[in-house]
């Protein structure tokens, strides 16, 4: 299509971009309208901007706490999953373990299962098995960081394995001949070459943890509640505050957009690194 008819190619991608971006634009329109206007005739064009919804969100101390929780939990989980995933992939790639393909498949099956399947066992683990005196992992940031590893760690391993496999083992052997220790081989030879894949894994696991709702809504009450779960607090028996919910949704989009814009050039490189081996 690109070579035969470039105009048709351009119109196709304009249409796809419109389908992708219009919901975000509509969300922004809802966030800058007062409640009275939302129930009038829908108007996709902005005839005025009402910033009070954003002001209310920023002035809400509880929502600011939820945002801090989301940043800490998603960042901590992304760093932990990327680190553990890298070492797991290195072991699967470099060591001749029996049944390592079965281990890899078993690991990725956790990502295939729906999150609701793990709700009950995770709740019991956090409230009973890992309870020490009056302390439990329920409604804690550390607890949520570990919980998200259930799904993000298998994804990190699945994403990083082609990257690590794409690095020739001869580089490791050359480093050993030069007198490098196993730790130096990992940190000074393999790790720098894996940076594109590590960047992509870090970004995607961060976004997955940032956007997660079901587990956070079930396993947190107040102390570790995230920003996405704060949306449900504005659905009450007296009505739904659509404007504030839309403003909160816009705030959840901003960090992800900033992160993607900063490392966009590494995404394609990281996803394709190691896909073709000589």
Map out the domains of the chain as residue ranges.
1-50, 58-272
User: By the 8 A CB rule, do 163 and 197 touch?
Assistant: yes
Average pLDDT, the chain: 83
- Confidence band of 273 (pLDDT split at 50, 70, 90): low
**Assigned CATH for 58-272:** 1.10.3720.10
Least confident span in 40-54, 142-156, 208-222, 258-272: 258-272
Q: Comparing C-alpha atoms, which of 160, 139, 145, 135 is closest to residue 273?
A: 160
Report, as an integer, the average pLDDT of 145-155.
91
pLDDT of the residue at 45: 62
- Asked whether residue 82 carries a pLDDT value surpassing 90, the answer given is yes
- Asked whether residue 277 carries a pLDDT value surpassing 60, the answer given is no
pLDDT of the residue at 146: 92
- Distance between CA 28 and CA 246 in Å, rounded? 7
Q: Three-state SS for 240?
A: strand
- Distance between CA 242 and CA 27 in Å, rounded? 10
Tens digit of each residue's pLDDT (9 = 90 or more) over 123-140: 888 887 767 666 788 888
- Asked whether residue 180 carries a pLDDT value surpassing 90, the answer given is no
- Asked whether residue 64 carries a pLDDT value surpassing 90, the answer given is no
Tens digit of each residue's pLDDT (9 = 90 or more) over 200-222: 888 889 989 998 989 998 898 88
Q: Three-state SS for 217?
A: helix
């Amino acid at each position: 299509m690109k070579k035969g008819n470039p105009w048709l190619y351009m119109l196709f991608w304009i249409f796809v971009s419109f389908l992708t971006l219009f919901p975000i634009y509509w969300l922004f329109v809802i966030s800058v309208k007062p409640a009275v206007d939302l129930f009038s005739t829908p108007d996709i064009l902005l005839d005025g901007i009402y910033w009070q919804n954003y002001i209310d969100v920023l002035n809400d101390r509880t929502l600011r706490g939820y945002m801090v929780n989301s940043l800490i939990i998603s960042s901590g989980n992304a760093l932990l999953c990327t680190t553990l995933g890298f070492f797991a992939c290195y072991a699967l790639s470099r060591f001749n373990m029996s049944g390592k393909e079965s281990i890899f498949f078993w690991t990725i099956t956790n990502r295939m299962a729906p999150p609701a399947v793990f709700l009950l066992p995770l709740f019991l683990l956090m409230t009973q098995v890992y309870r020490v005196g009056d302390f439990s992992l329920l409604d804690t940031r550390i607890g949520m960081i570990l919980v998200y590893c259930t799904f993000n760690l298998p994804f990190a391993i699945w994403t990083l394995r082609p990257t690590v496999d794409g690095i020739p083992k001869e580089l490791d052997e050359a480093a050993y001949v030069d007198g490098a220790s196993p730790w130096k081989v990992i940190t000074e030879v393999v790790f720098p070459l894996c940076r594109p894949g590590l960047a992509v894994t870090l970004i995607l696991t961060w976004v997955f943890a940032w956007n997660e709702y079901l587990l956070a809504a079930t396993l947190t009450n107040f102390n570790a509640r995230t920003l996405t779960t704060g949306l449900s607090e504005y659905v009450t028996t007296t009505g739904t505050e659509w404007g504030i919910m839309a403003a909160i949704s816009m705030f959840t989009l901003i960090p992800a957009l900033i992160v993607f814009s900063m490392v966009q050039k590494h995404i394609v490189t990281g996803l394709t690194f190691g896909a073709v081996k000589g």
